């Protein structure tokens, strides 16, 4: 192979690396789950079929059925060389997306390169057509690598679950509080932890850790004899996952914070979502205790069908999202805390309604950071919250994901809700922007962080409020928050 060919391959390799790292970033973001990755690709087909793949298909068709000469092949190589230069430029501009280098990701990257090297070894004699074929097959090779890695991962997980279950069972006096729901579970967990910590030695699952694996790792790495209560947030993307989490930690108390259409694309139906969340209540022992959010219609129905000791909470909530605090208060009182003890904890959390973090923004703006939230009920609750605040209101949000067939209806409802509340609504992704715009024709689509900041500066003055919802660009957050 000539030095010219080798030089072209060197530059083209940067383009391949960009595609591979972006795909691995998405696989990691979706927790290496085929169902979540598949749902993402139905909305964003560029993950699998970017423009370069379409062009490569045309090139391959020309090679197979056309009259090919050396000039065509040289032109083809120059094209991929230029694509490589473009990727190098993107790298210099820091536009590449990289996965976090966990042990699993390092193994996956190694596996991807082994499979790729094997591919090139087989098809090396067909160069430069090899380049075209590789461009087309990258998604398949990555899928194969993820699939191969899932085999040892499956057995490793089962072993870890077994160890965690055994360790949990050794703490006979430990009280486990399970918290689940389509929304509000993280806030309720944090509120409950704050209140209970005033009297008890409490362990909680950190951040958004709520999967079987995350729960098992928390038990193995953090649970000790000193802990009296373990507050365990439980999430799921399909039926059976919460039941398996309950099998590990054996909750005696269950809190169901609310149910909506979140992750319907993965569950398949609203009935499946309800069934999955109710697995927590079904897993409680006969002497267990179940708490239900009275402000959610599905919770009220499940309360009626539950036969163990139970209680509704949230009837005192005056603002959407406030019921999460009252849920924590109800559990704390059940666990023996006095009114005075609960009140001391309540004082620490009364300004954190709805999971919004109040932050000082640049140029005198008030920033309400709700980027941890990513569900329709949370957004609607936050809009109710900012309605009472002084000044103009600006809301920035991407379209929500994994809502399935409810997506259009939900996004139109959000758009309608922002009318009369928000003076400016900026949507940062296109997926269901048209549905939002049906509800609020004044909504604007802007993806670039610099352009969003410019628009905010044009529309706002000191004292105005900016609400950040779900995964807005990190660059924008850094520019807005002092």
Phi, psi of 401 (to 5 degrees): -115, 165
Q: Chain-centre distance of CA 92, in angstroms?
A: 28
Query: Looking at residue 1, what is its pLDDT?
Result: 54
Give the chain's residues under pLDDT 50. Answer: none
Host H or E run for residue 399: none
Burial class (CB in 10 A: 0-12, 13-18, 19+), 140: exposed
Strand, coil or helix: what is 325?
Answer: helix
Query: Looking at residue 467, what is its pLDDT?
Result: 92
pLDDT tens-digit readout, 110-136: 999 999 888 888 877 777 788 888 888
Query: Looking at residue 294, what is its pLDDT?
Result: 94
Domain ranges of the chain: 3-151, 171-353, 356-480
Query: Looking at residue 351, what is its pLDDT?
Result: 55
Query: Looking at residue 329, what is its pLDDT?
Result: 92
Two tokens at 202?
């409490």
Homologous superfamily of 356-480:
Mur ligase, C-terminal domain (3.90.190.20)
The β-bridge partners of 179 are 233, 255
CATH topology match: 171-353 vs 356-480: no
Per the CB < 8 A criterion, the answer to whether 353 and 322 are in contact is: yes
pLDDT tens-digit readout, 246-291: 999 999 999 999 998 887 778 888 899 999 999 999 999 999 999 9
Q: What is the CATH number of domain 171-353?
A: 3.40.1190.10
Strand extents, DSSP E, 76-184: 175-180
Q: Please tell me the pTM assigned to this model.
A: 0.77
Q: Which of 64, 186, 213 is nearest to 129 (CA)?
A: 64
């Amino acid at each position: 192979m000539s030095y010219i060919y080798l030089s072209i391959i060197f530059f083209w390799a940067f383009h391949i690396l960009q595609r591979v790292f972006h795909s691995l970033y998405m696989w990691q973001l979706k927790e290496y789950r085929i169902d979540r990755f598949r749902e993402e690709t139905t909305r964003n087909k560029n993950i699998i079929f970017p423009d370069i793949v379409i062009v490569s298909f045309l090139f391959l068709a020309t090679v197979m059925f056309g009259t090919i000469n050396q000039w065509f092949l040289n032109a083809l190589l120059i094209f991929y060389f230029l694509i490589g230069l473009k990727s190098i430029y993107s790298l210099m501009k820091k536009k590449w997306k990289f996965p976090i280098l966990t042990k699993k990701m390092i193994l996956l990257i190694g596996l991807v390169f082994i499979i790729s090297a094997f591919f090139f070894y087989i098809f090396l004699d067909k160069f430069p057509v090899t380049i075209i074929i590789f461009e087309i097959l990258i998604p398949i090779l990555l899928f194969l690598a993820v699939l191969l890695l899932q085999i040892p991962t499956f057995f490793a997980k089962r072993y870890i679950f077994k160890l965690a279950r055994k360790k949990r069972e050794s703490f006979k006096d430990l009280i486990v509080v399970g918290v689940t729901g389509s929304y509000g579970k993280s806030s309720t967990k944090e509120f409950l932890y704050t209140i209970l910590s005033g009297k008890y030695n409490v362990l909680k699952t950190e951040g958004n850790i709520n999967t079987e694996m995350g729960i098992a790792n928390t038990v193995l790495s953090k649970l000790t004899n000193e802990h009296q209560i373990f507050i365990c947030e439980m999430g799921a993307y399909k039926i059976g996952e919460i039941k398996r989490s309950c099998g590990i930690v054996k909750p005696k108390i269950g809190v169901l914070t609310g149910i909506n259409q979140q992750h319907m694309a993965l569950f398949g139906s609203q009935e499946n979502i309800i069934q999955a969340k109710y697995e927590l209540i079904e897993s409680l022992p006969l002497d267990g205790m179940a708490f239900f959010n009275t402000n959610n219609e599905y919770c009220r129905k499940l309360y009626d069908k539950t036969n163990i000791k139970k209680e509704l909470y949230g009837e005192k909530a005056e603002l959407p999202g406030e019921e999460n605090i009252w849920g924590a208060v109800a559990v704390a009182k059940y666990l023996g805390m006095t009114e005075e003890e609960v009140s001391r904890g309540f004082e620490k959390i009364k300004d954190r309604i709805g999971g919004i973090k109040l932050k000082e923004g640049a140029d005198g703006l008030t920033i309400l950071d709700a980027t941890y939230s990513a569900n329709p009920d949370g957004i609607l609750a936050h809009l109710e919250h900012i309605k009472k605040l002084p000044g103009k209101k600006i809301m920035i949000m991407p379209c929500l994901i994994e809502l399935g067939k409810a997506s259009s209806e939900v996004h139109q409802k959000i758009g309608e809700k922002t009318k009369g509340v928000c003076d400016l609504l900026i949507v940062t992704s296109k997926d269901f922007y048209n549905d939002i715009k049906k509800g609020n024709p004044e909504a604007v689509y802007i993806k670039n962080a610099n352009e969003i900041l410019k628009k905010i500066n044009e529309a706002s003055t000191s004292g105005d409020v900016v609400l950040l919802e779900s995964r807005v660009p990190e660059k924008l957050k850094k520019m807005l928050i002092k």
